[in-house]
């Protein structure tokens, strides 16, 4: 057993995590060293064993993914601005896809694959560098596991999402990011009749009907495995906003061996401290220090926040991280059963925001809920100007 230093997170009798005492040990490992196969200890004799792949040799899928990311990283290091896509859900709603076909059960790709593909294509047509799979909530505890969901069904939901991205991309040089999130399960029972003007006013993590930590981790592992099998180039973790569930999600993602970008949803306290939105004892400094030790964590994002908050959040991340940073805020609010855009940000104004985020340290810019292709076109226009100037400078040099 290698003598590693561990970053331990003790979760004792927490309501959110169930009734087990759990110690999660995230190994700091480098190069070809193996992770401790016992990095998860459960103080219970009745839980299932967890299989951990200790392989240190890159698979063809991992090798291809890293090659593609390194190409992107070279552009970032040269100073180029990378363009991400925008929202999928609100674009599906715009195209007439009901909430029942998006959130209340299985994901939209199983009902209206052509529409999902069309949404992805609309972003590819704007010239984005990365498209994101429609798998934000495609894990067992969000879909609603009543015991009847087969692994084959879950795999199909995630792998089809990747396939639709690939079909939308065609021959374009665009990466596919596999979305995984800390979205709370079963929150619709609590907030369905509530119009959430600002979802920070309700701690959705606290009211979620979460499984036990071990089960939650296995659910994330299952989803990560199917996204890898589907052929994603990178994993985008979204709405990481507390210590417990964030660590479980990150653990599952890094085990795949693929590049991982951790999307942080933060808030700013009156003191000026930048912290996890749903766990205000967890500072952005702690989040980055805890997770940057993993070799395949290649970046962090400021996401699912308002446009006017984003600059502050990007600066906070940049204070503790010198690598890849993405910014993709939202606009609007959740008015059950859909996301509603009440005061749209004009695309030209979003571009001005993007300039500020770029100056704050963002290497990639896109959009979350409520941000569509027309807005992303403006981001692409900005990116084109920046990247062409860099190319010209290179040629002169």
For residue 231, what pLDDT is reported?
97
How far, rounded to the nearest angstrom, does the alpha carbon of residue 203 sit from its chain's CA centroid? 19
End-to-end CA distance of the chain: 51
Give backbone dihedrals phi and psi of 267, rounded to 5 degrees, phi first: -145, 160
Q: How far apart are CA 231 and CA 392, in angstroms?
A: 35
Query: Is pLDDT at 52 greater than 50 in this prediction?
Result: no
Q: Residue 228: CB partners within 8 Å, gap ≥ 6?
A: 61, 178, 256, 258
Q: How confident is the model at residue 4 (pLDDT cuts 50, 70, 90)?
A: very low
DSSP 216-248: HHHHHHHHHHHHHHHT-SEEEEEEE-SHHHHHH
Beta-ladder partners of 232: none
Q: For 25-32, what is the mean pLDDT?
A: 33
Query: Is pLDDT at 204 greater than 80 in this prediction?
Result: no
**Which of these, 33, 21, 23, lies nearest to 293 by C-alpha position?**
33
Tokens encoding 219: 């659910």
Name the strands in the sheet holding 22-27, side by side, starting at the edge strand that comes first in the sequence. Answer: 6-11, 22-27, 40-42
Query: Is pLDDT at 34 greater than 60 in this prediction?
Result: no
For residue 338, what pLDDT is reported?
60
Query: Is pLDDT at 104 greater than 70 in this prediction?
Result: no
Query: Is pLDDT at 47 greater than 50 in this prediction?
Result: no
Write down all domains in the chain, each with its CATH number in brackets.
Answer: 58-396 (3.20.20.330)
DSSP 45-100: SSSPP-------SPPHHHHHHHHHHHHHHHHHHTTPPEEB---SHHHHHHTT--GG
Count CA within 13 A, CB hemisphere, residue 280: 9
Give yes or no for a contact between 184 and 204, defined as CB atoms under 8 angstroms apart. yes
Query: Is pLDDT at 44 greater than 60 in this prediction?
Result: no
Tens digit of each residue's pLDDT (9 = 90 or more) over 268-278: 999 999 999 99
Give yes or no for a contact between 232 and 178, defined as CB atoms under 8 angstroms apart. yes
Give backbone dihedrals phi and psi of 39, rounded to 5 degrees, phi first: -70, -5
Query: Is pLDDT at 329 greater than 80 in this prediction?
Result: yes
Q: How far apart are CA 107 and CA 137, in angstroms?
A: 8
Q: How confident is the model at residue 185 (pLDDT cuts 50, 70, 90)?
A: confident
């Amino acid at each position: 057993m290698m003598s590693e230093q561990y970053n331990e997170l003790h979760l004792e009798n927490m309501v959110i995590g169930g009734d087990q005492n759990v110690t999660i040990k995230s190994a700091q490992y480098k190069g070809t060293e193996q992770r401790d196969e016992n990095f998860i200890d459960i103080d219970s004799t009745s839980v299932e064993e967890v299989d951990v792949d200790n392989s240190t040799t890159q698979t063809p899928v991992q090798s291809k993914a890293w090659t593609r990311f390194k190409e992107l990283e070279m552009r970032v290091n040269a100073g180029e601005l990378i363009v991400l896509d925008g929202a999928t859900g609100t674009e599906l709603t715009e195209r007439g896809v009901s909430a029942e076909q998006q959130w209340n059960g299985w994901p939209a790709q199983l009902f209206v694959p052509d529409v999902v593909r069309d949404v992805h294509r609309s972003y590819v047509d704007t010239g984005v560098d990365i498209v994101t799979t429609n798998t934000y909530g495609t894990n067992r505890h969000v879909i609603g596991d009543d015991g009847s969901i087969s692994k084959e069904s879950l795999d199909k939901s995630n792998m089809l999402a990747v396939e639709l991205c690939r079909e939308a991309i065609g021959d374009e040089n665009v990466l596919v990011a596999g979305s995984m999130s800390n979205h709370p399960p079963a929150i619709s029972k609590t907030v369905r009749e509530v119009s959430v003007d600002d979802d920070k006013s309700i701690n959705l993590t606290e009211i979620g009907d979460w499984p036990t930590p071990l089960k939650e981790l296995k659910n994330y592992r299952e989803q990560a495995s199917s996204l890898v099998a589907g052929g994603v180039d990178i994993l985008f973790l979204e709405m990481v906003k507390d210590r417990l569930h964030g660590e479980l999600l990150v653990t599952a993602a890094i085990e795949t061996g693929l590049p991982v970008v951790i999307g942080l949803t933060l808030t700013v306290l009156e003191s000026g401290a930048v912290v996890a939105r749903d766990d205000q004892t967890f500072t952005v400094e702690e989040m980055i220090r805890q997770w940057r030790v993993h070799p395949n964590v290649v970046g962090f994002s400021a996401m699912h926040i308002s446009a006017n908050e984003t600059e502050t959040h990007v600066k906070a991340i940049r204070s503790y991280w010198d690598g890849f940073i993405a910014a993709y805020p939202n606009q609007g609010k959740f008015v059950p059963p859909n996301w509603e855009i009440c005061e749209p940000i004009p695309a030209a104004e979003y571009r001005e925001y993007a300039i500020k985020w770029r100056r704050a340290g963002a290497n990639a810019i896109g959009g979350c809920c409520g941000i569509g292709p027309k807005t992303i076109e403006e981001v692409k226009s900005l990116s084109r100007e920046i990247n062409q100037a860099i190319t010209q400078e290179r040629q002169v040099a």
